[in-house]
Chains A and B, each alone.
Chain A
């Protein structure tokens, strides 16, 4: 049995495993489209961002947007691909109302980048706190056009077409079938999303269709031939990547288990061979270095790989390693920091403003802050507790004015009353640590005297019962005592 990311158990027939490959369409972040100068914007009025070329009016021709080439090369470099110095454009013919030309310009024969790899991680293990790292091969990255959007009006039996999206530049990233389940696929998609966002080549907002996932799913027993593939298309929610894939794996296993066969409904396109070279676009050349640009060609007008390599930003994997090195964090913590939007910045801001150790700070940021945000369905930007406020709380804790348990109480109050200052809350809640030694001794004495039975058990050798007495002291003092101190005192008194 194995657990899916949704927490459900997938019942595998003996030794059957899932085989998952992905085709991910990432909308290139650019001001204009791939082959025309109309704009790229989500939620614009229908058919307001349409050039004559996008509507396939006769006499129009494609003119390649250099930004799109740069974006695909940078993405290829970040995914360890070989950049093809020469790549070609093709037409993929099929008829659909939201594609006026009757074909899509893509790169089927020779795409811009090939043979890369993506390293991704997820938190696995029983407690989901162990970083599991995997690798998936990137078969290729190709430049292609997006299609328009169709809205089906079944009521009036018509289809409404909006061409705003028609012609927007896409990078199709093809991941080989190296993944076994929905959780792995989702983690790979998440890592790709982080990389693309770091590069700025795609903003990766799945809800706005900037990143769409098609999954190819089959099942088999390891060592045996691969099973029949089915496609799960157009997954446009991060949550559903894992669920939809696991559902399909489960469905296939059930079909096979009861003696059925898997039907492949799609892929009919390939048998029709609707590809031909794009006659209006000569081959696309990119150059290794300025030195390799041929004479007569203006180097500022071409794409040079070295120039792009030089401006590649720090990728998520590097950031995670740096966090571990700089702050001594555990890998699973640095993984969470980079994975959650804005959390790394938040953490570093707290670190700057507090004397507390990074290992202590991370506990508060992940367990208390992130834990509460997730419980309340809030994003970090909606956090009632700012990084300054948390730093202040940690400083008061560090200076010994309050205990850890008291700090947690204050944290909850800060959450509910963000307008009050930390100092104010500590005073109002009367949570300052009792500094009067005599008072603490008296309270401990009182508790010990009131529990003779427990004291006898402790003296007989069962030291665990001491915790019970400690708990009573903490309760009596409303958490205003230092646990270590109380333990010492009680141990003495019961020795």
Chain B
């Protein structure tokens, strides 16, 4: 699809197309620098330049078209496969392959068959007990 100045239009081919005037759409969302920072830390994606911000704002604009649709009483779908036969499953069988070995070969950095995590990312240090075991055992 493309977004033009006066309206949004989409033409996948000759069969289906639509055109929505800008005037019926909500106000265009501007991404503030603070929001860029927050999104960058949440998504771990570096997009904090003009081109990146423009791209994001255009994507939001494209999605704004949904506001024109009347969705009263309609449950949103999160999968088009909603009938009961859609989910395929497998038996609890072990499959032995060399995938693990191949994956280790792919890694740039390993230490004795462990992958090494890159530092410098904002990874939360979780699962630390607020208590030390020594404190608890003395209780």
Contact = CB atoms under 8 A, between A and B. Distances in A.
B37 to A, nearest CB: 14
Contacts of B79: 277, 279, 281-283
Interface stretch (A159-167, A195-203, A419-427): A159-167
Contacts of A297: 84-85
Interface of B is mostly: loop
B117 A150 contact: yes
A160 B116 contact: yes
Contacts, number: 154
B116 A159 contact: yes
Nearest to A96: B123
Contacts of B128: 233
Interface stretch (A242-250, A359-367, A400-408): A242-250
B94 A32 contact: yes
B67 interface: no
B95 A66 contact: no
Interface stretch (B15-23, B25-33, B46-54, B129-137): B129-137
Contact of B119 (A52, A57, A157, A230): A157
A327 B94 CA distance: 45
Nearest to B79: A282
A119 interface: no
Interface string A49-72: 111100101000001111111000
Interface in B84-131: 84-97, 99-100, 103-104, 111-117, 119, 121-124, 126-131
B117 A243 contact: no
| Interface bracket on B | 35 or more
A281 B87 contact: yes
A46 B123 contact: no
A240 B136 CA distance: 8
A55 B136 contact: no
A66 B90 contact: yes
Interface residues of A, number: 66
Contact of B114 (A68, A151, A285): A151
B88 A63 contact: yes
A232 B131 contact: yes
B131 A282 contact: no
Interface stretch (A37-45, A454-462, A464-472): A37-45
B86 to A, nearest CB: 4
B82 interface: yes
Nearest to A67: B92
A63 B90 CA distance: 7
B44 interface: yes
B68 interface: no
Nearest to A169: B92
A97 interface: yes
B100 to A, nearest CB: 4
A46 B114 contact: yes
A6 interface: yes
Contacts of A108: none
A152 to B, nearest CB: 8
A282 B96 CA distance: 27
B99 A247 contact: no
Given A39-B94, A161-B116, A233-B129, A243 B136 contact: yes
A296 B44 CA distance: 45
Nearest to B86: A282
Contact of A8 (B87, B113, B131, B139): B139
A240 B139 contact: no
A38 B103 CA distance: 14
B78 interface: yes
B139 A6 contact: yes
B81 interface: yes
18 contacts: A32-B93, A37-B93, A46-B114, A47-B104, A48-B113, A51-B99, A66-B90, A67-B91, A95-B122, A96-B123, A158-B119, A159-B116, A244-B131, A279-B78, A281-B79, A282-B86, A294-B85, A301-B89
